[in-house]
Structure 1
Amino acid sequence: MLVALEGIDGAGKTTQLHLLEERARRQGLRVASLSFPRYTETVFGRCVAAYLRGEFGPLAEVPPRSAALLFAGDRLESLELLSRLAAESDLLLLDRYVASNLAHQGARLAVSERDAFLAWLAHLEYEVFGLPRPTLTLYLRLPVAVASSLLATRAQQRRSGARDLHEENAAYLARCAEVYEQLASAHADGPWEIVSCVDEKERLRSPEEIQVQVWSLLERYRTV
């Protein structure tokens, strides 16, 4: 199984990936994981890091297609590793995948332009570059207001002072959420399942509580 964890910044994708890894290994599964972008491992990953630091200019000045090619190129450079891990493992977990590129760059376009852009980018990554489609995409849904608060705390805790143009812009984060909802409802690149990160009163659920639901969904697709 190739399982992609998706969601806006602050949704807890990395935390859920680690919890899934631990539980899957306890179940005796061969597990591997990758996190995209691979900021230091690929040429394109290093370009992505520079872009997010603002070295290519403000977010509005970098064309969405240009930025999308950086993220897609990082996965293309990683394709041999991705394919090997998939062949060697029962479960390959991905912290962000193609849908992240679709959401983050699609969010920068007018609604009237999004569908054509999303179709172009999905075709590029899956058909031209030959990336494997996920067996399952788990979308961790988090309200934008909650995410913004969590990201503000994260920024204050950073010792390096590193910037991330995507995280700094709350309006942009809201548009990313819109595109994620569109992708989830359309099952853009295979089966999608939505996991709410908050309860009915919009209080954050614990990572452990979320993980129980995530594992249940994963088990359902393992038996299909």
Structure 2
Amino acid sequence: MLVALEGIDGAGKTTQLRLLEERARRQGLRVASLSFPRYTETVFGRCVAAYLRGDFGPLTEVPPRSAALLFAGDRLESLELLSRLATESDLLLLDRYVASNLAHQGARLTGAEREAFLTWLAHLEYDVFGLPRPTLTLYLRLPVAVATRLLATRAQQQNQRGTRDIHEEDAVYLARCAEVYEQLASTRADGPWETIACADEQERLRPPAEIAAQIWSLLERYGAI
């Protein structure tokens, strides 16, 4: 079973993947994981890192389709590894996948242009490149205001003030990414989606263990574990 964890920056995807992986292993499952982009492992991944640093110019100067091709190329380079891990494992966990590309680049377009772009990119990654569709996508929903605070705090803690990537530094852009994620979750075009709230109605973060328990219950319902 191939499970993708998605959500805007700061939603806790890496933390939840780690908790899920640890619990699955304790249950005796063969589990593997991959995180995209693979910044240092592929040629396209290194290009993605340069793009996110702003080496290709500010976000507004890089066409969405050009940026999307970098992220898609990273997965295409990883397809052999992805297929092998899927074959060898009971559960393959992905920290970001095709939906991340759809959300982050689709966020820069509106209306009919966005719809045409989403259709084009999904066709490119799934049909042309032959990437497997997720058995289940877990969307970690986080309010943009909370994500913005978390990203700022993280930068300060790591003594990296002013060095956030070009996707993280724009709150308006993050809000548009969240908008596309909501659209993808509601249409479920590439398979089943489940939405997990990462904050309560007062925008207080839920404990990671509580979120992990909800995710585990969902995987039980889908027969993944």
- TM-score interval, normalised by the smaller of the two chains: over 0.9
Partner of 1:10: 10
The corresponding residue for 1:158 is 158
Aligned 8 A contact 2:8 2:174 in 1: yes
1:168 aligned residue: 169
Matches within 5 A, 1:5-154: 5-154=5-154
- Separation in 2, partners of 1:109, 1:223: 35
Does the CA-based 8 Å contact 2:65-2:105 persist in structure 1?
yes
State the alpha-carbon separation in 2 of the partners of residues 197 and 223 from structure 1: 22
Write the distance in 2 (CA, Å) between the matches of 1:193 and 1:94.
15
Q: Secondary structure at the match of 1:4?
A: strand
**Given the superposition, is the C-alpha separation of residues 90 and 34 from structure 1 closer, same or farther in structure 2, using an over 3 Å criterion?**
same
Deviation per residue, 1:62-113 (Å, 9 max, x gap): 0000000000000000000000000000000000000000000000112331
Q: Percent of aligned pairs with the same residue?
A: 84
Cα distance between partner residues in 1 of 2:149 and 2:26: 34
The Cα of 1:160 is off from its aligned counterpart by 5.7
Contact 2:47 2:70 in 1 (8 A): yes
1:216 aligns with 2:207: no
Match of 2:183 in 1: 182
How many residues matched?
224
CA change 1:172–1:223 in 2 (3 A) is closer
Structure 1 residues 195-204 or 41-50, which shifts more?
A: 195-204
Please give the alpha-carbon distance, in whole angstroms, between the structure 1 residues aligned to 2:219 and 2:159: 36
Letter in 1 for 2:157: Q
Match of 1:202 in 2: 203
5+ unaligned residues in a row in structure 2: which ranges? none
Post-superposition Cα deviations, 1:139-182, rounded to whole Å, max 9, x if no partner, equal: 00000000000011111123466430000000000000000000
Paired residue type of 1:186? T
Question: What is the rounded CA distance, in whole Å, between the counterparts of 1:44 and 1:223 in structure 2?
Answer: 31
On the 8 A contact 2:91/2:224 being kept in 1, the answer is: no
Hey, what's the Cα distance between the residues in 2 that align with 1:168 and 1:200? 25
What amino acid is aligned across from residue 87 of structure 1 in structure 2?
T
The two structures have a TM-score, normalised by structure 2, of 0.97
Is residue 8–residue 178 contact of structure 2 (8 Å, CA) maintained in 1? yes
Alpha-carbon separation, structure 1, partners of 2:130 and 2:106: 21
Deviates further, 151-160 or 38-47: 151-160
Task: Tell me the TM-score normalized by structure 1.
Answer: 0.97
Q: Secondary structure at the match of 1:218?
A: helix
CA distance in 2 between counterparts of 1:204 and 1:50 reads 32
CA RMSD of aligned residues (A): 1.2
Structure 1 spans left out of the alignment, 5+ residues: none
Superposed displacement of residue 201, structure 1: 2.3
